[in-house]
Amino acid sequence: MDSGNKKGSYLTTVGISNKMKQCNKRETVAVRERTDMGIIKAAHVFFDYIKRDEEENEEEVNRAIDDLSLDIEKGDFVAILGHNGSGKSTFAKQVNALLMPTDGTLWISDMNTQDEDKIWEIRKKTGMVFQNPDNQIIGNIVEEDVGFGPENIGVPTDEIWKRVDDSLEAVGMTAYRKQSPNKLSGGQKQRVAIAGVMAMRPQCIVLDEPTAMLDPNGRSEVIRTVRDLNQKEGVTVLLITHYMEEVIHADRVIVMDDGRIVMDGTPREIFSRVEELKRYRLDVPQVTELAYELKKAGLPVPDGILTREELMDVLLPLFAEKYPDTVTL
């Protein structure tokens, strides 16, 4: 072999060696990412809805998720906001392995959702509550419905009843355990649906607009239940909603638009950006909107007011200063 060939061979060997080092480095990083990940981790996830003709040829492709990456820690309460078609419900179904990414990777408790052998384990880890509780409740009696899931996966009878007791107590529905679900209010039905999910002992509950069909009282019942499960039971909550007031107590708010994450922060950080939210066709809590308008009118009101109490704490000193004979603190 001549020196030129030797040199070429050497360079080829070095090139292969460097590529192997780069691959090993990428694999090491990937392993480190999986080791350090939270309960939900998405890495460059895409999803396309594909419309096909009668011969299974592609007619139309609509991208619902577009290069989405996030990491949600165990025990977090995360709210996802977005207008219709933003991709939030599609992502919720991916977390429960009802839909698989077209590209990218989604891990649930270190399990790849595209691993067919892990599908049922993933669904046991991530319970899902839908908009209409009537589509999720199948038992004739509340306690039977709550116990259906554990029975279906072979949980021993004694353990089933313990789970039913614990789950109904957790959602405040123990007193209704012998009733027919048909006699319950919408909010009570949704709490029974949540109890049924809780009986499966999930680490995470995904709620896809669970209050969309409820009146204000029913919405309050459900959100109060979800907050209690998060704070007292340590359950990770992923709440998808159109109602801004429901997310003010979340740990984190994610805003989606056209399949992408466009805002990510605490409720106060997100709702401080009123004009930006409006550009994404989203509202803010009513009290936040009022505080924003007062600030525009010249009052020294801070951004990101979330509750009436916060607004009154700001306004009362201003009124007391201007009207000392009328307002007392």
Instruction: Note whether 291 and 186 are same-domain residues.
Output: no
Instruction: Note whether 197 and 293 are same-domain residues.
Output: no
Instruction: Note whether 93 and 240 are same-domain residues.
Output: yes
User: Domain boundary at 239, 267, 295, which?
Assistant: 267
Instruction: Note whether 187 and 148 are same-domain residues.
Output: yes
| Position 64 in a domain | no
What's residue 215's pLDDT? 83
Sign of CA dihedral 289, 290, 291, 292: positive
| Pairwise CA distance, residues 191 & 228, whole Å | 12
Instruction: Return the CATH number at 162.
Output: 3.40.50.300
| Position 20 in a domain | no
Instruction: Note whether 221 and 295 are same-domain residues.
Output: no
| Position 296 in a domain | yes
| Position 221 in a domain | yes
Q: What secondary structure does DSSP assign to 233-279, as a single string? A: H--EEEEE-S-GGGGTT-SEEEEEETTEEEEEE-HHHHHT-HHHHHH
Kindly give the confidence (pLDDT) of every residue in the chain, 329 residues in length, as a single tens digit, with 9 standing for 90 and above. 444 444 444 333 334 344 334 444 333 444 444 445 689 999 999 999 998 888 788 888 999 999 999 999 999 999 999 998 999 999 999 999 999 999 999 999 999 999 999 998 898 889 898 888 888 888 899 999 999 989 888 889 999 999 999 989 888 899 999 999 999 998 899 899 999 988 988 899 999 988 888 888 888 888 888 898 899 889 999 999 988 999 999 999 999 999 999 999 999 999 999 999 999 999 999 999 999 999 999 999 999 999 999 999 999 888 888 777 675 66
Q: Token digits for 147?
A: 């116990």
Name residue 295's amino acid: K
| Position 30 in a domain | no
User: Domain boundary at 219, 235, 267, which?
Assistant: 267
Name residue 99's amino acid: L
Specify the 3-state DSSP secondary structure of 46. Answer: strand
Instruction: Note whether 316 and 238 are same-domain residues.
Output: no
| Position 85 in a domain | yes
- For the whole prediction, is pTM greater than 0.85? no
What's residue 328's pLDDT? 66
| Extended strands (E) in 58-213 | 58-72, 77-81, 103-108, 111-112, 126-129, 204-208
Instruction: Note whether 127 and 196 are same-domain residues.
Output: yes
Instruction: Note whether 295 and 241 are same-domain residues.
Output: no
Asked if 39 and 203 count as a contact pair (C-beta separation under 8 A), the reply is yes
Residue-number span of the structural domain to which 327 is assigned: 285-329
Instruction: Note whether 91 and 158 are same-domain residues.
Output: yes
| Position 1 in a domain | no
Which residue in this structure is represented by tokens 């009986």? 199
Instruction: Note whether 122 and 249 are same-domain residues.
Output: yes
Instruction: Note whether 230 and 299 are same-domain residues.
Output: no
* Torsion angle of C-alpha atoms 98, 238, 149, 185, degrees rounded to 10: -120
**Domain count of the fold of the chain:** 2
Instruction: Note whether 256 and 301 are same-domain residues.
Output: no
185: left (phi over 0), alpha (psi -120 to 50) or beta: beta
| Position 194 in a domain | yes
